[in-house]
Amino acid sequence: MTRYHILRETDTEPLGDAVFRILGKVGILCQNREILEALDEAGAEVSFDDQTARFPKRVVEELVETVRRQSEAQSADDETPRFASPGPPHFGTQVAQFLYDIDAGQARPGDKAAFVETVKLASVLHPDQSAGHSLLLSDVPPMVEPLEAALLLAEYAHRPAPAFAWNVRQVDYLIEMGEILGLRDWFSWGAICFAHPLRFDKDVADKFVRRVRSGCATGLTAMPVAGASTPVSPAGFIAVAAAEIVATWLAARAINPDVPLGGSIWAGALDMKTGEVSYCSFDAMFYGFALAEFVLKWTGKEIVVGGGEYCDAKKPGYFAAWEKAYKAMTIAAFTGRHYGVGQGMLEEGKTLCHEQLLLERELAEGVGLLGRGVEVSPQTLDLASVFDVGHGLDRNHLDTEQTLRRYREFLWCPKTFGRNGWRGAETDEKVLQRFRGHAEELKAAYVPPEVDPAKLAAMREVVERGRRDLLV
């Protein structure tokens, strides 16, 4: 449920008409014949030579009406809205390209050694949650990188999450590796992304087909950039980005009429001074909120506005953490849903920092307090202390039994973060060194899981076969 509204009711019709016109005149470029054939049968105007598909208005109208009916049927009566606490950050499927080295004060490319250290830290830090494909292995050929990551997860993680398959040819090898471990469909689809504007390149399109045929919920993880891949005006941004989302749904339903639909928006905005793209600036968030509101009003379907982890900060520390928290809570204000504060990443998701993730876990604990209920009982009311303290002339509640015994239950008591605010660059340096020490302590406590050597050997054979087949 949207809390703050951006669009007027009268905006929906002209924006929808713009989407009709874009899909009718420009359409999409798609490098997958199976998708084009399905769209051709579904009523699109397809040119197989140009690899394009354009959509008559009636085709788009039918889909929008279908999505609206299904969304209304699935929605239940909303209860009184309550704040839902975000979960603690963990080392999941981030697939950052770089790892930030606190001692060196800079990022370095991810590799197998750094990934193993990350998996060890994850296994001790959050033993009840799986360790995921959090870091890219730059010392491995890209086509077999997910296979190598999966092997390392199987060997070092107590709860190995599936690796991210960015190419459909990697999927069967990962499935086979999972079967050796006794895990079904052990791979992650990850995101479905257009090459903006309105282009389905071969790698994404091929994976898209298999995902849709499997019946897995499918939608576009949209990352359009205002002024680069869309017009710079909010209206133009909404029209192009919405056209991409709807085109993805049209392609999905043309292949599998029963596939659930979804999607998310990670809106970007250009800094015209530097050329850098931000996914957390005020203007970027505005574009994202406006698009999500339009899609909800036009189709009845809610799309997710990307969470706090994509921030502009290049260095770890307090500023990066609060930048993410501000973004996440702004998203909650405009969408009614509070997504995670962060996952330890910097530079718009390019860099992973162990210490930053630890810092954000403590910050997330504080944010989580906003979602707790209020226990009302004679014990929590503690009227005896209220009567005893009276007007506070002789004593206050600092020396009452309840404060002494239960303050940790009710107050935010971070172990490392510190509640005294940012006091200059030395603040970050000190707190990051404390978190570095904490990370080293956690890694020192790591105990390898008991994994059948025969299973690891069988998985290595799959990886080697993948090397022979995929690197041709």
Q: Which of 329, 313, 315 is nearest to 366 (CA)?
A: 329
Q: What is the pTM of this model?
A: 0.92
Neighbouring-strand partners of residue 109? 98
Q: Which residue has the tokens 């002494």?
A: 404
∠ at Cα 303 (201, 282), nearest 5°? Answer: 90
What pLDDT is stored for residue 190 in this prediction? 86
β pairing state of 98-101 and 106-109: antiparallel
- First-residue to last-residue Cα distance in the chain: 50
Instruction: Kindly list the distances between the CA atom of residue 51 and the CA atoms of 195, 211, 224, 238, in Å, as whole numbers in the listed order.
Output: 14, 21, 22, 25
Exposed / middle / buried, residue 184 (Cβ in 10 Å: 0-12, 13-18, 19+): exposed
Nearest-angstrom CA–CA distance, 346 and 363:
16
Please name the helix (run of DSSP H) or strand (run of DSSP E) that holds residue 456, with its range, or none: helix 453-470
Amino acid at 342: G
Instruction: Kindly list the distances between the CA atom of residue 216 and the CA atoms of 133, 199, 211, 252, 402, in Å, as whole numbers in the listed order.
Output: 20, 22, 6, 10, 51
Enter the tokens of residue 384: 């005896």
Enter the tokens of residue 411: 């107050």
Backbone CA torsion sign across 119, 124, 130, 134: negative
Instruction: Give Dmax (Cα) for the chain.
Output: 88
Q: Answer yes or no: are the C-beta atoms of 251 and 30 closer than 8 Å.
A: yes
What pLDDT is stored for residue 96 in this prediction? 96
**pLDDT tens, the chain, 472 aa long:** 457 899 999 999 999 999 999 999 999 999 999 999 999 999 999 999 999 999 999 999 999 999 999 988 776 545 556 777 778 899 999 999 999 999 999 999 999 999 999 999 999 999 999 999 999 999 999 999 999 999 999 999 999 999 999 999 999 999 999 999 999 999 999 888 878 899 999 999 999 999 999 999 999 999 999 999 999 999 999 999 999 999 999 999 999 999 999 999 999 999 999 999 999 999 999 999 999 999 999 999 999 998 888 999 999 998 899 899 999 889 988 988 877 888 999 999 999 999 999 999 998 888 888 888 899 999 999 999 999 999 999 999 999 999 999 999 999 998 887 787 778 888 888 899 999 999 999 999 999 999 999 999 999 999 999 999 999 8
Enter the tokens of residue 163: 């690796």
What pLDDT is stored for residue 77 in this prediction? 47
∠ at Cα 170 (164, 176), nearest 5°? Answer: 95
What pLDDT is stored for residue 332 in this prediction? 87
